Amino acid sequence: MLVILWDPDTLLHKTVELLGSNLIPALESPERLEAILKALHNSEYRAGTRPLSSLWEGPKSRLLELTSETHGHEYLRHLRNVYEEWLSAGLIEQDGHVLPECFVFPTSTGKPLRPPRDLFARAGYYAFDMSSGIMSESYRAMIASANLACEGTDMLCGFDDRPNDIDTVVALCRPPGHHCDGQRAGGYCYINNAALAVSTWRSHQSDAQIGILDIDFHHGNGTQEIFYADAKVLYVSIHGEDEFPYYTGVEDETGSGEGKGMNINLPLKVGSPIEEYLEKLDYGLKKLVEFKTEFLIVSLGFDTFHADPLGHFQVHTEDYETIARTTRQALKEVPALVLLEGGYVIEHIGANMLSFLKGWKS
Ligand code: SP5
Ligand code: ZN
């Protein structure tokens, strides 16, 4: 059985970004999720809500514990408080957005980096680009998004004596997660939802073999970073070569220490035909099968769509059906958590999701 989860709190985050040289409403918008929900509503699929809001007095402590396995305490404190700090200091109005100004840069001093006192500068210490704005409701949405990954994983793991016929959970997360590492937001990402899912699964089965298939158009630099030395997480990513986030995603990034060989980057030239995409997918899936993946996380971005403003592959709506079917057939019956990452064509994102679901279930 396949279950789809969403949370109304995730719609509250609506910020701005610097794209090219223009400050614009962020392309990662609530309308993306609304379009998916609308498409699901007019289909055979039903999306269930797992709202955290009813429990909100600050998020539940288990969720916070799992989140802090990946994200530093100071970083989380920053995400939670920075909007209020800027508001109190008169740097923004109620409807304003925290955006970084100056970023960390390499030096030869050997001095440890520390968060600057200046409030503007500190926002840059905890971010790597200017598409990670924070407004009044952002933290609430981030936590709700992370909670979907966590709840979805719990529903799949079947270790708590519940009768379990759920083999797939599709978590309609936003904000997305794969670009942020332990202490840096970026690429619309603040909390790494895939990493939360790994921690959640491990809270039930500590030595599991966990596979992550990242098929967003962009390289998941954050997920790569978090699991780079981890022998029990195989990360496989197919992404646009030389595209955002620019400094990661090359084939020779294969992991380190005990995690050597556990990071597989499959960059693809922009404009490549779908056949080449599917060849990379087959290769990545073969590796995930050889690894004996026991829990599969799919970081699913629809910015591979041919008309996406931030992606430049030749993937069409019907191809998502093929991508999903191929993936599911390779890893039959492996419990799977599908996390929404990017995808910015509002008019087509709903149809693309339906196509993916159709392929997954066939
Ligand atoms: C989750 C996700 O898909 N995040 C992607 C964020 C990408 N943002 C930056 C894209 C850079 C595009 N540069 C355009 C330069 C002006 N044409
Ligand atoms: Zn993307």
For residue 179, indicate whether it is catalytic: yes
Q: At what angle do helices 73-88 and 138-157 cross, to 10 degrees?
A: 150
Annotated active-site residue in 71, 78, 97, 179: 179
Instruction: Let me know: does 148 contact 6? Beta carbons within 8 Å.
Output: yes
Rounded Cα distance between 7 and 176, Å, is 13
Two tokens at 283?
A: 């290769």
Pick the residue whose CA is nearest to atom 13 on ligand 1.
20
CA of residue 75 to ligand 1 center, whole Å: 23
Rounded Cα distance between 231 and 204, Å, is 18
Pick the residue whose CA is nearest to atom 2 on ligand 1.
342
Give the residue ranges of DSSP H helices in 138-235.
Answer: 138-157, 193-204, 221-227
- Report the residue among 15, 131, 300, 344 best suited for mutation to probe ligand 1: largest number of ligand atoms under 8 A from its CB: 131
Query: Is the pLDDT reported for residue 161 higher than 60?
Result: no
Rg (CA), the chain: 19
Two tokens at 142?
A: 């981030």
Please tell me the predicted confidence (pLDDT) of residue 163. Answer: 58
> Per residue in 8-26, pLDDT tens?
999 999 999 999 999 999 9
Instruction: Indicate the number of domains in the chain.
Output: 1
Two tokens at 139?
A: 């933290």
Over residues 197-201, the mean pLDDT reads 98
Two tokens at 65?
A: 């514990």
- Three-state DSSP at 177 gives coil
- Three-state DSSP at 318 gives helix
Q: In what order do the strands lie in the sheet with 295-300?
A: 47-49, 2-6, 168-171, 336-340, 295-300, 210-214, 233-240, 263-268
Residue indicated by tokens 């793991």: 157
Which residues constitute the domain of residue 178?
Answer: 2-361
Instruction: Let me know: does 228 contact 70? Beta carbons within 8 Å.
Output: no
75 contacts: CB under 8 Å, gap ≥ 6: 126, 182, 183, 184
Beta strand pairing call for 22-25 and 16-19: antiparallel
CB of 190 shorter than 6 A to ligand 1: no
The CATH number linked to 328 is 3.40.800.20
Over residues 45-49, the mean pLDDT reads 90
Two tokens at 177?
A: 């997660």
Two tokens at 310?
A: 């931030």
Rounded Cα distance between 350 and 346, Å, is 8
CA of residue 270 to ligand 1 center, whole Å: 14
ipTM over 0.90: yes
> Per residue in 56-104, pLDDT tens?
777 889 999 999 999 999 999 999 999 999 999 999 999 999 999 999 9
